[in-house]
Structure 1
C-alpha cells in the first residue's frame, strides 16, 4: 500500500506520538509498504523507507517547546506524484485540516488517529471555558474520517461520550528488546541521584514537563521520605517552575534522554512514577514495564486499563497526599509487593512489541481500502 501521512509533530521532537510513529514507519518498511510523510520543517528528509516532506511550522502556546506543522500550499503536487491509496492524519489539529481537504479533493479514504487529550488540558491552564469549544473542534475534524483510531479502550469510551464516530483501536507497543536488555549502571544511578546513599531509593519520571502532568503533587512524598530521590527525565515549558517547586528536595532534572541512554535510566532506578491523569495511553508505562521497573501511577481510566486495575502497578489518588505517600512507600520498600507487580508487568511486556500494533493498523488500512475503492473513481493525476 501507498500511504500519505500528515503528522502535527515529528523528529527531532520526542513524545509518545513520535515514538509510536517511528516504530510504525520501521514496521511498515519491513512489510513492504510505501509512506510519504508530511511533518514539521526540521525533520530528517527520510525515516526508515518513508520520504519526509518538511512543511512550515509554528509554536502553539500550549506546547511552546515543540514545532507543529501547518497548512501549506505544496501538498497537492507531492500527493499527485506519490499517488497514495489513502491518507492518515495523526493527531489532527492544524496540518490535519490539510489532510482532510486533500482527502476530499483527491477522493481518497481518510484515517485519523487521536493521541492527545487537548480538551482536558484546558482545565490545567485555567481555560475551562475553552474545553467545550475544543471538544467541538476535534469532533468536527474527526467526523471527516472513515476510521478514527484510539490508543486505548478508555479513550475510545471517552470519545464515544463526546459524539465521535467510526472508532477503532490502535493499541500499545514498546521496543521490548531495547528496554528489557538494559542493565543497571552505577554511573547512571549517580547521574540520576548524585547525593543518594547506598540504601536510598530513586523514583524516576520520564516525560514532558507541563502543568497537566501533576508533578508538583510529588513534593510532599519527598519531604516525608528523605531517603527517596526523584529523577525527572524530560523537558518542557514548566521546567523552571518545577525546579522552584522541588528546590530543597533530592530532585534532579536531567533533560531529555533517548535510546540506550534512556533504557539504562529505567534499569538503574528503583521505581517509576506517572502522576498525570490526562493521558490517552502513557507509553512510558510500557517502557517501565519492559524494563522491569515497578510503577506507581495516578488514577485515571487509561491508567487503570494499562495497569490492569492495580495488578501490574500501584494506583494512587492524585488529589490525596496520604494516598500518594503511602503508595510511594509501598512501591519502593515493600519487596514482596514489588515482586508481584514486576511478575505481572513482565508477563504483559512480553506481548508489547510494536509488530502487533502495526499489524492492527494494517488491518484498519486494508478494511478501509477495500470498503472505499469507489471513492477513487477520479484519478489523482486528473484532479485540479
Structure 2
C-alpha cells in the first residue's frame, strides 16, 4: 500500500493533472444491473449516470436479463452494450451470473480499446473480463461489493467459505486498484492478502431520500395511528439479512407499545415464508424508486440486522430520510451512525443487544425525534463519490502504464505490482 502511494507521489506531473480532465472510455462489467433491485445494480446505475454527466463514455458488459428482448424498455438502452449469456443464481431468482466471455470481450476491446475496465462483480463473467483485460494490458479497477464467502454460511455451503475467500483474493489481486466501500472493510481485505485496496464510499440522492416525503396517507394505509410507531427494514428478503431478528425486535416492542407496526420493503426468496410466518407484518414487495422515499420517511425507526453487508446503502437512505437506525457496529452503520445522536450502534452479531436497543429507542419518543433531526443531516453526495472514482481510474491507468514499462525494462522491476 505504501509503495503504491510513494509511486504516485513521485510520478505525478502537471501534465498528469491536466490529463485527468480528459474524457475517459470506461468499460463497466457487471453481472447484475438495473432494473434488478440490489446494492450492486443500484451502484452500477449511479456510476453510469455520474460518468455520463461528467462527459465520459461508457460501454456496458452484462448478462441478458430474464425475459429481456429488443422491444422491452431496459435501463441505459441507448448506451453501447455487450450482452452475454447468463445462468440463474441459486436462491436469487431474477439475478444471473454471466458466463465466461473472454473471446467476445477481446474482440470488442481490440476494436475499441477502453481506457479502463471497471469490474463490479466476481462471477464467471467478471473473472473472464479481468483475465482478458490483463492479457491486453488494460487498466483494471475491481469493485468489492458482496461478501460471497459469508453467503456460503446462509446457503448451506459453509465448508466452501475459505475456498471462496481465496478465490476473491486471487481475483482482486489481478486488478490494479480495488475499491471497498468502508475503511474497516478495506483493512480487513488487506489483512486477508488483498492488495491495492482503496475506499470508495457510497452517496445518497437527497432528491429521493428526504424527510419531506413523509406521507400521512401512506401511514394511514399501513393502519397507523397518529402517535403509533412504525419500524422499517428495506432490502432484499433473503436469509443473510437476518429478518427474523428484526421481527423479534418488533415483537419485543409490541409488548410495551402494542400498536407498533413493522414494514418490510422488498422482494426475495424469503417473502413467502415471512408472509406465512408473520401475518401481522406489512410486506410491501418491491417498491419503485419514485415511491421508496415516502416509505423511508413515513417510518419512525429503521432496524437493520444484516451481518453480510459490504456497505448497506439502505442505512444511508434511511438516515437521509430522517429515520434513526438501529444496527450492528460495522459497514455503513459504523461509518455513519453517531451513537444515540442519529442512531444506535450495537455489538456486531449480538441479537439480544439489537432487540434491547430497539425497545429502548421505541420507549423514548423525545430521543427519537432528536435523532431524526440529526439523521437527516447524514450522508455524502454521489457527485463527490464519483469524483473520487474518476481519480482512481486515472491512478489505475498510471499503474498499468508503469507495469507495462517495467515488463519492457526487465523482470527485476516488476515486484511492486503484485499482478
TM-score normalised per structure 1: 0.89
Q: Secondary structure at the match of 1:22?
A: helix
Residues 301/25 of structure 1: CA separation in 2 closer, same or farther (3 Å cut): closer
Q: Secondary structure at the match of 1:172?
A: coil
Q: Pick from 377, 382, 388: which aligns with 1:347? A: 377
Distance of 1:64 and 1:309 partners within structure 2 = 37
CA RMSD between the two structures: 2.4
Q: Pick from 308, 317, 331: which aligns with 2:361? A: 331
Q: Do the aligned partners of 1:304 and 1:310 also contact (CA within 8 Å) in 2?
A: no
Q: Do the aligned partners of 1:281 and 1:306 also contact (CA within 8 Å) in 2?
A: no
Distance of 2:345 and 2:200 partners within structure 1 = 24
Does residue 87 of structure 2 align to residue 58 of structure 1? Answer: yes
Residues 322/46 of structure 1: CA separation in 2 closer, same or farther (3 Å cut): closer
Q: Do the aligned partners of 2:300 and 2:323 also contact (CA within 8 Å) in 1?
A: yes
Hey, what does 1:29 align to over in structure 2?
52
Distance of 1:148 and 1:321 partners within structure 2 = 32
Deviation track 1:157-179 (CA, whole Å, cap 9, x = no partner) reads: 22112111110111120111221
Q: Do the aligned partners of 2:311 and 2:331 also contact (CA within 8 Å) in 1?
A: no
Distance of 2:402 and 2:349 partners within structure 1 = 52
Residues 320/367 of structure 1: CA separation in 2 closer, same or farther (3 Å cut): closer
Please tell me whether Structure 1 or Structure 2 has the larger radius of gyration of its CA atoms: 2
Count the aligned residue pairs: 372
Deviation of the 1:376 alpha carbon: 7.0
Distance of 1:123 and 1:331 partners within structure 2 = 31
Q: Pick from 219, 231, 236: which aligns with 1:208? A: 236
Hey, what does 2:16 align to over in structure 1?
none
Deviation track 1:80-106 (CA, whole Å, cap 9, x = no partner) reads: 233201211102222111211221232
Does residue 76 of structure 2 align to residue 47 of structure 1? Answer: yes
Q: Do the aligned partners of 1:234 and 1:255 also contact (CA within 8 Å) in 2?
A: yes
Gaps of 5+ in 1: 378-384
Hey, what does 2:146 align to over in structure 1?
116
Q: Pick from 97, 100, 112: which aligns with 1:71? A: 100
Deviation of the 1:315 alpha carbon: 2.1
Q: Which moved more, 1:85-94 or 1:219-228?
A: 219-228
Hey, what does 2:32 align to over in structure 1?
9
Q: Do the aligned partners of 2:35 and 2:75 also contact (CA within 8 Å) in 1?
A: no
Deviation track 1:216-236 (CA, whole Å, cap 9, x = no partner) reads: 013333333122111111111
Residues 62/144 of structure 1: CA separation in 2 closer, same or farther (3 Å cut): farther
Alignment map for 1:1-384 (pairs within 5 Å): 1-42=24-65, 47=76, 50-72=79-101, 73-180=103-210, 182-191=212-221, 193-194=222-223, 196-224=224-252, 225=254, 226-247=258-279, 250-300=280-330, 302-309=332-339, 311-317=341-347, 322-349=352-379, 352-373=380-401
Distance of 1:316 and 1:336 partners within structure 2 = 20
Residues 62/94 of structure 1: CA separation in 2 closer, same or farther (3 Å cut): farther
Deviation track 1:42-93 (CA, whole Å, cap 9, x = no partner) reads: 3766629742322211112153341232222422332223320121110222
Deviation of the 1:329 alpha carbon: 2.7
Residues 367/221 of structure 1: CA separation in 2 closer, same or farther (3 Å cut): closer
